[in-house]
Amino acid sequence: MALSDVAIKNAKPDPLKVKKLSDGRGLQLWVRPSGDRTWRLYTRANGRQVAVTLGKYPALSLREARLAADRERLKLTEAAAAGKANAEATRFGVIKAQWLDMVERSPASASTREKAIWLCSLFGALDPLPISAIRGPQILELLKPLEAQGKRETAARARSTLSRIFRFAAAHGLVEHDPTALLKGALLAPAPKPRAAIVERAGFARLMRAIAGYGGDRPSIVADGLMLLALTAARPGELRLAQWNEIDLDRAIWELPTGRMKMRTAHRAPLSGPACDILRRLAEENGRLRPQSIFVLPSPRPGRALSENAFNAALRAMGFGKDEMTAHGFRSSFSTLANESGLWAYDAIERQLAHQDASDVRRAYHRADYFEERRRLMDWWGCEIMGMIARADERQKAPEAVFDPDAGTVFAAAPRRKQSF
């Protein structure tokens, strides 16, 4: 029952204890044995009881005490709402989404962004937790099952991705440290596993003939893609997502944008004659034999590029096992055979592969493009591949087409099957 001024004035102190007069909704007037009278408010905020002293009676009248109580209730409600919003804003899932948004807006390659999204999907159990409350054992509990399944590389990448998210949070003042740093040594290191590649000349010649015949009289997009992988030594993801606006067939140049390059640096790649032949035919077929597409190697599904599994699946179909050759292995084949030839500078070969120098100092000062030498290099490489395809005897090492590396000229070009390109 609500209090009244009359009831308050008539209330007599109890000489043995504090008398508590309730006005409702948690507002009380405490009458002490001494006769001292104090307004107290009892309410709940964030799931716990809160007690607030409002003032003394009669300095604070009944009406003023009720208004003061309303102000305190509103203040506590707003504080609770702000605290809830802050707790929501600092949940791991929210911070993770903000980090992914930053990655999406960065010049990272499409494959890098896709991997980041996939790795972040492994951390769903952490999403509801405040990021500042997450500790190493909780993270280890997520990573250990991956290790137990033999997915050591995935576990290592997941830990690295989590570390980036925590460092992002630390930069915004949301955490004091990166808990993943304490997990070093708690997981088995992934076993080194270089991508399989055929680097012997005879074996690579056998592979090139298999690719040349893979599509029969009318090569498939996948067969053309594998041949272009060999002729350009590009990364599979760079080639798979290549678009027509990047290709200049008149100048025989492929301009790869920063966003698709692993090292976040735009790359000019000279195109050999055989590579241009394939690209011209694909350009003629675009919109005529298959739906119009912005992609050089389109998927059968309109609007998409060729599947990332297409190249390796085709190699398996041709009888080359995953421990023998991979789509990425064409780069190793090119590097090995080009270096073994003794005709080309190591730096030119590395620049064609779009590798960055391991030395920070050398990378800062050594910015040569070697473009003209790389053009002659790729013409030589195209000539080598054409000779391998045409040659009947795998054991013969001398190419049937003779290449002058200084002049960049091909003499007595090797014959080629019309259906190969």
User: What length is written for the chain?
Assistant: 421
State pLDDT tens for residues 344-382: 988 889 888 887 654 444 444 344 578 889 999 999 999
Report d(CA 66, CA 4) in Å as an integer: 12
Query: Has residue 384 got a pLDDT over 90?
Result: yes
Residue 260 is predicted with a pLDDT of: 62
Q: Which residue in this structure is represented by tokens 């394939």?
A: 278
Q: SS3 letters for 193-236? A: CCCCCCCCHHHHHHHHHHHHHHCCCCCCHHHHHHHHHHHHCCCH
Model pLDDT, residue 192: 61
Regarding predicted confidence, which is higher, 18 or 190?
Answer: 18
Is this prediction's pTM over 0.75? no
| Mean pLDDT score, 192-213 | 88
Which secondary-structure segment (H or E) carries 38? strand 37-45
Q: Find tokens 């707003």 and name the residue.
A: 78
The answer to whether residue 181 scores a pLDDT higher than 80 is yes
Q: Which of 414, 349, 354 is nearest to 376 (CA)?
A: 349
* Whether residue 418 has pLDDT greater than 50: no
* CA 380/CA 408 separation, integer angstroms: 7
Domains and CATH numbers, the chain: 5-87 (3.30.160.390), 92-183 (1.10.150.130), 201-420 (1.10.443.10)
Q: How is residue 305 annotated by DSSP? A: B
Q: What pLDDT score was predicted for residue 83?
A: 65
Across the range 28-52, mean pLDDT stands at 88
